[in-house]
Every structure is written in C-alpha cells, then in structure tokens.
Amino acid sequence: MVKTFKNSMLSLSLLSVLMLASFLVTAETVDKNAGNKVVTEQSSSQSYTLDQAIDYALANNPDLQVATERINEADAQLGIALSAFYPQISARVGYEQSNNPAQVFSMIVAQRAFEPSNIDTINNPGYRGNFRPEIIGKLSLFRGGQDYYNSKAAELGIDAAEFERSTVRNALIEAVTASYYAYLAATEAQIVAQESISSVTSELSQTKAQYEAGTALKSDVLSLDVKLAEAQDAEIRATNGIEISKASIANLLGLPNSQAFTIASSFNQLMKPKLTASFKDFLELAMAQRPEVKAAANQVEISLRKLRSEQGAYLPKADAFVSYGQNSQSPGFSSANDNLTAGVSVEMELFSGFNTKQRVNLAERKAAEARETERKIKLGVEQEVKTAFLKLQEALARMHVTETAVLSADEALRLVNEERRAEIVTVTRYIESEVARNKARSNTVAAHYDALSAEAALKKAVGDWK
C-alpha cells in the first residue's frame, strides 16, 4: 500500500510538472504572437522620411546584402590562396596482398622480417599481406611565384568586392532619393489636379444653370467640360505616379508588396539645390572617388598578378615531403616496424602540349581586356557626370522660370477675377486663368523636385555616397 501511495504521488508530481510546462509554452507562444502582432502593427504604420528610407534600404536591400556576401566570398578565396603556403598533412591506411616475388620481398624487408631462409623461397614466396598506416606531410618550397601572385590577386579581389558594394550603395541611395522625390512630386500634382477639378466642377455647375436660364452660351459649357476632362486626366496620371513611385520605393527598401507604409516629408525637400563647383572639378572628384573607376583599376592589377602567376609555370617547382608509418601483416602499431621517409623533389615542365603557352596568352588577353574596360568605364563616368551636371543646370534654370511664371499667373488670375466681377470677361477666360495658375504652381513643384533629383544624380555620378 505504501508503494501504491508513492506511485500515486509520483504520478501527480509528473502531471503537475507537465501541466506547468504546457502553461509556460502556451504563455511563451502567446507572448511571441503578441510581439509579432506589435511588430506587424508597427511595420504597417511605418512612415519614412528620406533619411529613414535610405537607412532602411542600406540595411535591408537584397542587392547590398548580395554585395556584402561577395566580400565574404573574396575573403574565403584569399584563405584558399594562402593555404598554399602551409604544409599539407594527410593520413591514410592501406592493405595489400600479393604473391609477386618482388612485392613480397619488399613487404618482408619493410616489415623488418627478413631472414636468410627467405632467400630459398624468393621465387615462390607464396601470398603475403602488408598493412600500412602512415602520415604524409608536404610543403611547397617554390612554384615559380604562382602561389605568391595568386595570393596577391586574391587580396585585390577583396578590394574589388568592396568597390562593388560601394557601387551598389552609391546607386541605391540615388535610386531611393529619386523615387522619394518622384512620390512627393506626384502627390503635389495630385493636389493641384484635385483643386482644378473642384474649381472647374463648381464653375461648370453654375454655367449649366446659366445656360439653362439662357444667360450663358453652349460653348462655355463645352469648354468647361474639356477643362474638367483635362483636370481629371491629370489626377489619374498623378495618382498612378504615386503608386508607381511607392512601388519603386518598396522594392528598393526590400519590402513586400503587401507591406503598408507611408512617405513623410523631410527637411531635405525644402532645401533649394545649387551647383557648388564647375564641371571640371566634379569630373576630377569622380575620377578620384567613384568606386567603378577604382574597381576597374583594381581589375587591371588583378589581371597582371594572374599573368605573372601563369608565367611562373615556366619555372621549376620544388616540394619537400615526409612520410611516417609502419608495415606489418596485420592491423596494429609497433615502433619496431615504423619507418620514416623525407626528401625534396624538383620538377620542371619541359613540354605541355603548348598548354602553358596558351594559358599565358589567355592571361595576356584578359589583362588587355581589363585595361580597355577601365578606359571604357572612365569614359562612361565622364559622360554620366556631364549629363548630371547639365541636367542640374537645366533644372535650376527651370526653377527660376517657373517661379517667375507663378508670380505672373497669380497676378493674371487676380486681374481676370476683377474683370469677371465687372462682367468684362467670360467664365471660360476665368477658368483658363485659374487652370494656368494651377499648372504654373504644379510646374514649379515639379521643377523643384526635378532639381533635387538632378542634384542626387550628380552626387551619385561623382561617388558621394560610396
């Protein structure tokens, strides 16, 4: 009975432990789900300024993550190249059995089992087995400089991968900036279009009433219908522009299409861009710091190192080796049967079927290709800087023109409004003036954001965001 009572108490204790564990797991799951829900709610209501969008893209964009992994790959390639300077150690075990007189005699001697009587059976020794465990070490002493130049090329490969990441970073920041300004410009254009629709709709309603009363012309109604259609078309294009630019931002930030977020204004959008240097200064800066230019020069150096490596195949190679093991008829180890072999070998290729010659020729061609690629990239960078410089000049000039146009459009609308109250002009003329004023404002906003985008393109062209 005591045993039964103890078993019952043990069962109750185990049941309590299991219930407590189940409760803790459930609570932890609920907490995790709650935490995930909070993260989701925070993500769904996330709002990004330009700086926040850039920071998030740099941390989450897959292209930049791929470039980072390529740096790690290049680091691993360097490790592979440097491994040639370390001794290579391997262990192996083998077993063989033979009745070949030469092999059997070699086994007997290696096993240190030779006796004078073995001479009598040297031609018919019968079968004999040999079990040999051994450790083998090898060290490359000289390979015509191939290992050295391969390691130097691998070191430059890390720099090349870092330049690639800088290139991606530079382009990514410019793309996020351009998409951000495109979104804000489309939003402003949508507001202007909606204001135009509201104004034209109101005037159209009044004009229709006047037409029905016989105090307005049919042409006025039709003209307002056309203006309303134009304003609605502008709203449709602006709305679509908002969605396209927002999709572009989401892609650059590495967000799924289902992820909800908003774009917030920032101080940057209020700043007026300007040219701070001449084209020559910008070009010199681009050639000095643009990662593509550095990467191209780096590839030339890599190709020269690989060429020297291939040319090293014409030189002799020297290796040191050592082997330690034992020979016996059955598995086991005895220091009485161990043996050690060490030495140095020198090898030189006399004829490889022109393989070495063609490999050197291939490396020479790749070096020439790298030099031409470098020249092409420099020409491309020069063209990109020139284009970005001219576009910024154009955008700044447009800003000045559109700002002047807004002042003129505002004054024209004021005068037409006074003339309309005096019944000197038709409603169509008033609507045309109001639409012209709205369009001038829209052009000013577009010119401002175009100038900001052009400034970002120029910064990318000179490599400011490397």
Per-residue pLDDT of 231-254, as tens digits, reads 899 899 999 999 999 999 999 999
Q: Do 140 and 31 meet the contact criterion of CB atoms below 8 Å apart?
A: no
Q: Do 296 and 290 meet the contact criterion of CB atoms below 8 Å apart?
A: no
Is the model's pLDDT at 15 over the cut of 50?
no
Residue 448 in tokens: 């401002």
pLDDT confidence of residue 384: 96
At 31, the pLDDT band (50, 70, 90 cuts) reads very low
Average pLDDT score over residue span 188-217: 85
Average pLDDT score over residue span 2-24: 36
Residue 299 in tokens: 């590839």
Higher pLDDT, 407 or 424: 407
CA distances from 256 to 37, 55, 67, 68, 288 (A): 17, 17, 21, 21, 37
Exposed e or buried b per residue across 186-225, where buried means at least 16 C-beta atoms within 10 angstroms of its C-beta:
bbbbbbbbbbbbebbeebbeebeeeeeeeebeeebbebbe
Higher pLDDT, 175 or 412: 175
Q: How far apart, in whole angstroms, are the C-alpha atoms of residue 150 and residue 81?
A: 6
Residue 232 in tokens: 């609605």
CA distances from 64 to 53, 107, 165 (A): 14, 62, 6
At 312, the pLDDT band (50, 70, 90 cuts) reads very high
Higher pLDDT, 272 or 80: 80
Give the SS3 label for residue 141: strand
Percent of the chain with pLDDT over 90: 52
Q: Which of 267, 262, 286, 193 is nearest to 452 (CA)?
A: 267
- According to DSSP, residue 312 is labeled G
Contacts for 50 with CB less than 8 Å, ≥ 6 apart: 176, 177, 180, 266, 268, 269
CA distances from 430 to 194, 405, 434 (A): 18, 17, 6
At 120, the pLDDT band (50, 70, 90 cuts) reads confident
- Average pLDDT value for the chain: 84
Average pLDDT score over residue span 11-37: 38
Higher pLDDT, 179 or 210: 179
pLDDT confidence of residue 6: 37
Residue 121 in tokens: 């059976």
User: Angle 279-289/291-311 helices, nearest 10 degrees?
Assistant: 40
Question: Which alpha helices (DSSP H) does 214-290 contain, by range?
Answer: 218-253, 279-289
Q: What is the CA radius of gyration of the chain?
A: 41
Is the model's pLDDT at 304 over the cut of 60?
yes
Q: How far apart, in whole angstroms, are the C-alpha atoms of residue 436 and residue 460?
A: 35
Query: If you write DSSP's letter for every residue of 6-41 in order, what string do you get?
Result: HHHHHHHHHHHHHHHHHHHHHHHHHHHHHHHHHHHH
Is the model's pLDDT at 156 over the cut of 50?
yes
Average pLDDT score over residue span 196-215: 84
Per-residue pLDDT of 322-348, as tens digits, reads 999 988 888 877 677 788 999 999 999
> Residue 293 corresponds to which amino acid?
V
Query: If you write DSSP's letter for every residue of 62-78 in order, what string do you get?
Result: HHHHHHHHHHHHHHHHH
pLDDT confidence of residue 268: 56
pLDDT confidence of residue 13: 38
Higher pLDDT, 94 or 35: 94
Tokens 């309303």, located at residue: 228
Average pLDDT score over residue span 105-129: 87
Average pLDDT score over residue span 395-403: 90
Per-residue pLDDT of 212-231, as tens digits, reads 888 778 887 888 888 889 88
Q: Do 449 and 380 meet the contact criterion of CB atoms below 8 Å apart?
A: no
Most confident of 34-43, 371-380, 399-408, 430-439: 371-380
Per-residue pLDDT of 408-430, as tens digits, reads 988 888 888 788 777 777 666 77
Is the model's pLDDT at 138 over the cut of 90?
yes
Is the model's pLDDT at 3 over the cut of 70?
no
Higher pLDDT, 99 or 35: 99
pLDDT confidence of residue 338: 84
Out of 1.20.1600.10, 1.10.3370.10, 3.10.129.10, 3.40.91.10, select the CATH number for domain 51-85+147-316+354-462. 1.20.1600.10
By CB atoms closer than 10 A (0-12, 13-18, 19+), residue 439 is buried
